[in-house]
Amino acid sequence: MLRLLQLELQKLLLNRASKVLIFISFVLPFFVIILSSLRIDFFGFFTLELGHYGLFNFPIVWHITTFFASQFKFFFAIVVVSMIGNEYSNKTIKQNLIDGLSKKEFILSKFYTIVFFSAIATFLIFIICLCIGLYYSSINEVSLIFRETEFLFAYFLKLVGFFSLCLFLGMLVKRSAFALAFLFVLYILEWIIFGLITWQANADIAEKIQNFFPLKSMYKLIDQPFQRIAISKAPNGQEFLYDFAVHWYEIVIVMGWTALFIFLSYRLLKKRDL
Amino acid sequence: MESILTINNLTKKFGYLTAVKDLSFTINKGNVYGILGPNGSGKSTTLGIVLNVVNATQGGFHWFDGNTSTHDALKKVGAIIERPNFYPYMTAEQNLKLVCKIKGVDKSKITEKLEVVGLLDRKDHKFRTYSLGMKQRLAIASALLNEPEILILDEPTNGLDPQGIHQIRAIIKQIASKGTTILLASHLLDEVEKVCSHVVVLRKGEKLYSGRVDEMISSHGFFELKAQKHDELIKVLENDASFGTIKIEDQLITAFLNESMDAPAFNTLMFEKGIVLSHLVKRKESLEEQFLQLTDN
C-alpha cells in the first residue's frame, strides 16, 4: 500500500501543474476562513466581524467551516482528473502495466492518493476549526468542543466520494477537460431529473429520489448552514424545523457511490485494450 | 529446454477484424527470436496480449512454468512497445526510479544501465528534451533495470536515423551476447537476419513459419550469370538437371540450384562447354526474399 502511494505521489509532486493545484486546494480554503474570521474595518463606516454573529462558536464552527472548505474541492478534482488524463496522453498507463503493475494496483494507487489527500485536508480543517473556535468561543469544556465533530468525518467522506467520481469520469473519457465537462453535465442532469420527477409527481418525492444521486448525496452530508445560522438568530427559531445533521443513511449512500465508482473504474480498465 | 513464454491458440478480434488467429508458439531460454510480418500482421497485438495491456478474445498464454501471475511475471521481463512512454516532466533518473518502484528492484542499477545506453551525462535532463533516439535508449535502459530473463522489443529502430539504428542494434547485440533471451518484433528483415537465431513469421494474424532462421533459408542458393554466348548458356542450363528455375532479365541470367554446387565447379563446367562467363556470382536467398515468398499472395 505504501509502495502504491509513493508511486502516485512521485508522479504528482514532480509535476509543476499538479503541485501548484494541490497547494492551492490546501491553502486557499484556510486563507479564506482565516480572513473571514478577522475583524474587517470598512473605513470607519462599519465593522464586519463574522465572529460576532456566532459563526465561529462551538459546535457550529465545525459545520460552517467544513461546508465552506468543501467548496474548494474543485481544485483537487482537477488534479485527480488530470492524473488519469496524463497517464493516457503520455501512454504511461500502458508502460506502467508492462513494467509489472497490475490493473488493480493501478486503480488502488490512485484511490490511496485520494484518501491520503482527503485525510490531510480533513486534518488541516480540524486544526483550523479548533483554533478559530477556541478563539471565539467561551466554551472550554472538552466534551462540548468536540460535539458535532461528525461533520469532519462527513467532510472526509464527501471529499473521497467526490474525487472517486472524478477518478471514474477520468477513466471513462480519458481526457481531463472532457471529464470535468462531464462532471458539469452530471450536475445539470441531476437537476433535470429532479425537475422531471417534480413535474410528473411532486417536489417532495423528487427531493427524496434526488438525495440518492451522487452529487446531491455528497452535498447532503453537510447541508444548510445558512438556515442553521438563521435559526440560531431568529427569536422563535424553533418554528423552522430544518434537518441539518449528518445522518447514517447519508453516509451509507455516499460510501456506496464511492465503492461503485472505484469498482467501475477497475472494470473499465480491465475490459479496455490499451 | 526451459520455456519462458508459451502461447496457445491465441485469437484476438477487434470487431470484425481478426488481428491474431489461432497463434501458438513457444519461446525458450537463451535464444534470440524474431517476429516478422508486414505492417498490420498482428505482431504488436500479440505482444500487447502477453504484456497484459490487450485482452485476448480466445486462447491463452503463460509465462515461465505457468505458476506466476502475469503481472508478477512481467517484473522479470523487460519490454519496449512501439514508442518510448515516460513522464515528460520527469528527468531520466526520476523516470527510472519510478520504474524501479513498480518492478520492486533496487535503485542502485540506474547508473549502471544509463551507462550501458550512454545516457549517463544526460540523466538530470527532463525526458521531454530528449531526441527520439535518446528516448528509445532510455526505454532500453528502463527495460534492463530488473536484469530481465527476456527482453521484448517491438520495432525498436522505428523512426530512428541511421546512427540511432546502429546504436540500438549494437546495444541489442551486446545484450544478446550476455545470454539474455530476446524477442524482437520487426518488419525490417536485415535487422532480424543480423540478430536473431529463430523466427516466427506472421501474416494477417496467422503463423506462416516458425523455426530457425538458417532452416528457413534452406535452399542451395543460385548463380547470377552473364556471358557473350547468351542463348547457348541458357540452353546448357536448361538441359542440366542441377538447375531448377531459370530467370532472365535483360542480359542477367539467374539460375536456381537443385543440388549444391560451388562457383569453381560451375566455372570449370562452363569452360568445358566452351562458354566464357563475363559475370558469375553465387548467392543464397536473403531472408527478405524468403519472407516475400512466404507472405506473398
Would the CB atoms of B83 and A16 count as touching at under 8 Å?
no
Residues B190 and B230 both lie in one domain: no
B101: domain CATH number? 3.40.50.300
pLDDT in tens, A141-161: 777 777 778 888 999 999 999
Report whether pLDDT(A74) > 90.
Answer: no
pLDDT in tens, A185-231: 999 999 899 888 888 888 888 888 888 888 888 888 887 676 676 66
Task: Give me the percent of chain A exceeding a pLDDT of 70.
Answer: 86
Residues B45 and B63 both lie in one domain: yes
B276: domain CATH number? 3.30.70
Structural contact between residues A85 and A176, judged by C-beta atoms closer than 8 angstroms: yes
Q: Cα distance from B204 to chain A (closest Cα, Å)?
A: 19
Q: Using a CB–CB cutoff of 8 Å, tell me whether A7 touches chain B.
A: yes
Would the CB atoms of A7 and B54 count as touching at under 8 Å?
no
Residues B104 and B250 both lie in one domain: no
Q: Cα distance from B99 to chain A (closest Cα, Å)?
A: 7
Report whether pLDDT(B138) > 70.
Answer: yes
Q: Phi and psi of A205, rounded to 5°?
A: -65, -40
Give the total number of structural domains in chain B: 2
Rounded-to-integer distance, Cα A145 and Cα A62, Å? 10
**B132 vs A139, which has greater pLDDT?**
B132
Residue A253's pLDDT is what?
92
Residues B204 and B232 both lie in one domain: no
**Antiparallel, parallel or unpaired: β B252-257 and B222-227:** antiparallel
Residue A257's pLDDT is what?
94
**B218 vs A116, which has greater pLDDT?**
A116
| Chains A–B, number of C-beta pairs less than 8 Å apart | 79
Rounded-to-integer distance, Cα A163 and Cα A186, Å? 14
Transcribe A212-239 into DSSP letters.
TSHHHHHHHHS--HHHHHHHHHSTTGGG
Rounded-to-integer distance, Cα A126 and Cα A122, Å? 6
**B5 vs B213, which has greater pLDDT?**
B5
pLDDT in tens, B267-294: 888 888 888 888 888 887 777 777 777 7
Task: Give me the percent of chain B exceeding a pLDDT of 90.
Answer: 12
Q: Where a domain ends, among B216, B245, B263?
A: B216
Kindly give, in sequence order, each residue whose CB lies less than 8 Å from that of residue A2, ignoring residues fewer than 6 positions away: none
Residue A41's pLDDT is what?
65
Q: Domain residues for B271?
A: 222-295
* Interface with chain B: mutation pick from A13, A20, A95, highest number of B CBs within 10 Å: A95
Q: Where a domain ends, among B195, B216, B237?
A: B216
Residues B197 and B230 both lie in one domain: no
Q: Where a domain ends, among B216, B235, B258?
A: B216
Residues B266 and B183 both lie in one domain: no
Mean pLDDT, range B211-230, rounded to an integer: 80
Alpha helices in chain A, H assignment, sequence order: 2-13, 16-37, 60-69, 73-89, 92-98, 103-136, 142-145, 150-173, 176-200, 203-210, 214-221, 225-233, 248-271
Domain regions of chain A by residue span: 2-271
The alpha carbon of residue B287 and the mean position of all alpha carbons in its chain are separated, in whole angstroms, by 11
Residues B261 and B205 both lie in one domain: no
Name the residue facing A274 among B54, B72, B77 (closest C-beta).
Answer: B54
C-alpha dist (Å) from residue B202 to A107, A197, B3, B185, B197: 35, 58, 21, 10, 17
Task: Give me the percent of chain B exceeding a pLDDT of 70.
Answer: 98
Residues B270 and B125 both lie in one domain: no
Q: Helices A150-173 and A73-89 sit at what angle, rounded to 10 degrees? A: 30
Structural contact between residues A25 and A75, judged by C-beta atoms closer than 8 angstroms: yes
**B189 vs B16, which has greater pLDDT?**
B16
**The Cα angle at residue A156 between residues A151 and A157, in degrees rounded to 5:** 95
Would the CB atoms of B103 and A100 count as touching at under 8 Å?
yes
Would the CB atoms of B102 and A15 count as touching at under 8 Å?
no
| Backbone angle region of A43, left / alpha / beta, with phi > 0 → left and psi within -120 to 50 → alpha | left
Q: Is B87 helix (H, G, I), strand (E, B) or coil?
A: coil
Of the candidates A268, A43, A40, A239, the residue with the CA atom closest to the CA atom of residue A174 = A268
Structural contact between residues A212 and A255, judged by C-beta atoms closer than 8 angstroms: no
pLDDT in tens, A42-63: 666 666 666 666 677 777 788 8
- How many CA atoms does the CB half-sphere of A12 hold within 13 Å? 26
Residue A238, C-alpha cell as written in the block: 424553533
Which chain A residues contact residue B48 at CB under 8 A?
273-274
Residue A237's pLDDT is what?
47
Residues B285 and B160 both lie in one domain: no
Residue B236's pLDDT is what?
85
Which chain B residues contact residue A270 at CB under 8 A?
55
Residue B218's pLDDT is what?
61
Residue B250's pLDDT is what?
82
